Amino acid sequence: MPLRFFNTYSRGIEQFEPHEPTARPIRMYTCGPTVYSRAHIGNFRAYIFEDLLQRHLELRGYKVHRVMNITDVEDKTIRGASEAGVPLQKFTEQFKEAFFEDARTLRIKRADEYPAATEQRYIDRMIDMISALISKGLAYQADDKSVYFRINKFPEYGKLAHFDLTQLQSTGRVKHDEYDKEHIGDFALWKAWDEADGDVKWDSPWGPGRPGWHIECSAMSTALLGDQIDIHCGGVDNIFPHHEAEIAQSEGVTGKKFVNYWLHCAHLLVDGQKMAKSLGNFYTVPDVLAKGYTGRELRYALLRVHYRVPLNFTWEGMNEARESLARIDEWLARLRQLVGTAQRADPTSHFEDALDDDLNISAALGFLFESIRETNRTMDQNEMDAAAASAWLDWWNRINTILDLEASVDVAIPDEVAQLAEQREEARREKNWKRSDELREQISALGWEVRDTKDGPKLTRATVSA
Ligand SMILES: [Zn+2]
């Protein structure tokens, strides 16, 4: 089955063809974090979607060259540094580190490059691009000394977001608020320095100042991936104005189609509401870990819903993630017991086929759990031979290069828990049910659950109540 993706640009499902059908890697650009605070789980939902996309492309035999930028200078980072009374670099450094730590916790594959907007080579490139836009009449310096993109000179503006910007006329009131721009939709390419910027400034042909957020991505993406990109991703709230502006700037400079496939990830809701600090439903990765969940569980919870569908995050959903992973763990353990010297057989490729269809992870996981149910039944009836078990494990290893959900040391059974389980088994052999129940409770107090199966007791992480 050919790979198909929903392209925001056309608002339709399109068959995926890399820009040049050669062995060269797919050029993938993903808008990264703005490092003014710790990224929240909604941000990570988008990063996990991009991770899934990259891993699936790789499973399908493509090489991927992925760039994720770090926005370390814009309004919020400057305000944050000034409020904290520390230099910008020092202020953003802590959130960069936190971002990489959280990405590791969630097993997100590293991008090939993480350019930061404040690196001089990119600032230079931004200035070059802005100069080129001015010389083509696509940008102008206003009375406030800032440089703006002239959207009226770029007829394609609004095409990605499906906005008709001719409807947006400058009015007297707008002129009053935005006195320096020709059109309300004109966006800043270069922001002239003012006192609130403190010592955050770079020299430019237009005087001291700093780049606008949008030009940062145009400069870093074209610097590292060339004028034309195969896949550009982000969250839906990046579509307008950020990605619309990236197209205008990049195509304005190069005259070439900037991006072939635009893929956007839907919002994350918490308990059905938009996440907001004021609502007390704003969570970072450490907030979720502090509730007793693992990175693997959070990865699963953020991964399991199709990326174009809003994902409703709940603690119940986290418990379901835990239960789903326990089902996978037990299934793997059973298969591994059966495997001996075995020959290859091939279960199916339904999982990968579902992902070929615009990354349909819900269907893919549905197929995984259906397979788990069926193979468990076969094992219950002692009808699974070593060859079949081995084939299923091979299949799992293959799809796990995408999912990356296998248990690791973070769910190793602690000695204390193992000993209590051992004592409980002894109590059960002696038919001392009271003692056995007491021990079960002690195990549960340590965050573990013991279940008696026909293969003996099985320990899993207990479900945490919110
Ligand atoms: Zn961006």
Q: Inform me whether the pLDDT recorded for 175 exceeds 50.
A: no
Distance (angstroms) between ligand 1 centre and the Cα of 339 equals 48
Distance (angstroms) between ligand 1 centre and the Cα of 380 equals 52
Its pTM stands at: 0.85
List, for residues 3-23, the tens digit of each pLDDT value.
999 999 999 999 998 876 667
Distance (angstroms) between ligand 1 centre and the Cα of 6 equals 19
| Inter-residue contact 212 to 191 (CB < 8 Å) | yes
Distance (angstroms) between ligand 1 centre and the Cα of 358 equals 22
List, for residues 422-440, the tens digit of each pLDDT value.
899 889 888 999 999 999 9
Distance (angstroms) between ligand 1 centre and the Cα of 75 equals 15
Distance (angstroms) between ligand 1 centre and the Cα of 168 equals 24
List, for residues 39-57, the tens digit of each pLDDT value.
999 999 999 999 999 999 9
How far apart are the C-alpha atoms of 287 and 270, rounded to whole Å? 13
CA dist 278 → 241, 269, 345, 353, 373 (Å): 25, 14, 55, 42, 43
pLDDT of residue 340: 57
Distance (angstroms) between ligand 1 centre and the Cα of 216 equals 7
CB neighbour class for 290 (10 Å; exposed up to 12, middle 13-18, buried from 19):
exposed
Distance (angstroms) between ligand 1 centre and the Cα of 91 equals 21
Distance (angstroms) between ligand 1 centre and the Cα of 244 equals 10
Q: 278: pLDDT confidence band, cut at 50, 70 and 90? A: confident
Using only C-alpha atoms, what is the Rg of the chain? 26
pLDDT of residue 232: 98
Distance (angstroms) between ligand 1 centre and the Cα of 143 equals 27
Give the length of the chain.
Answer: 466
Q: Which tokens sit at 402?
A: 């995408």
Distance (angstroms) between ligand 1 centre and the Cα of 103 equals 18
**Would you give the DSSP letter of residue 187?**
-
Helix (H, G, I), strand (E, B) or coil at 212: coil
Sequence-separated (6 or more) residues with CB below 8 Å from residue 462: 444, 447, 448, 449
